[in-house]
């Protein structure tokens, strides 16, 4: 990120995203991490929430997307989150990481997921 950064770590939600029938029927936990790039100097100078991002609103937007309409791929979910943040908040760039701690795939690992970076056009 080239700008100042607001970050969210370890936001955990329960959703029904996935390719396998058990994922869409039983659901699972999703962990979302965010970095929002913007100039924080105006907010720091004025001590005014209107000059920055309301963390509670960001959390609510992400919660509604993760707990809302299912998608097959976490790539799609990450893209929806990035798009909502870029259009709904005064940020110039975002980094979105969506992690599935317990996906129904064989093997030994801590988690799987995706990370995307998007900029305002």
Q: Which residues are catalytic?
A: 100
* Closest to 66 in 3D by CA, of 110, 113, 111: 113
Transcribe 63-100 into DSSP letters.
HHHHHSS--S-HHHHHHHHHHHHHHHSS-SEEEEEEEE
Q: Are 29 and 12 within 8 A, CB to CB? A: yes
Helix (H, G, I), strand (E, B) or coil at 44: helix
* Residue 96 burial class via C-beta count within 10 angstroms: exposed 0-12, middle 13-18, buried 19 and up: buried
How would you classify the pairing of strands 112-119 and 93-100?
antiparallel
């Amino acid at each position: 990120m080239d700008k100042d950064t607001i970050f969210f770590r370890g936001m955990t939600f329960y959703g029904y995203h996935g390719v396998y029938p058990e994922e869409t029927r039983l659901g699972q936990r999703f962990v979302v991490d965010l970095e929002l790039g913007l100039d924080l100097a105006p907010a720091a100078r004025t001590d005014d929430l209107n000059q920055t991002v309301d963390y509670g609103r960001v959390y609510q937007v992400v919660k509604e997307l993760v707990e809302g309409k299912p998608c097959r791929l976490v790539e799609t979910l990450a893209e929806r989150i990035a798009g909502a943040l870029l259009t709904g908040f005064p940020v110039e760039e975002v980094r979105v990481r969506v992690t599935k701690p317990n996906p129904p795939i064989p093997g030994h690992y801590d988690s799987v997921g995706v990370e995307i970076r998007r900029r305002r056009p």
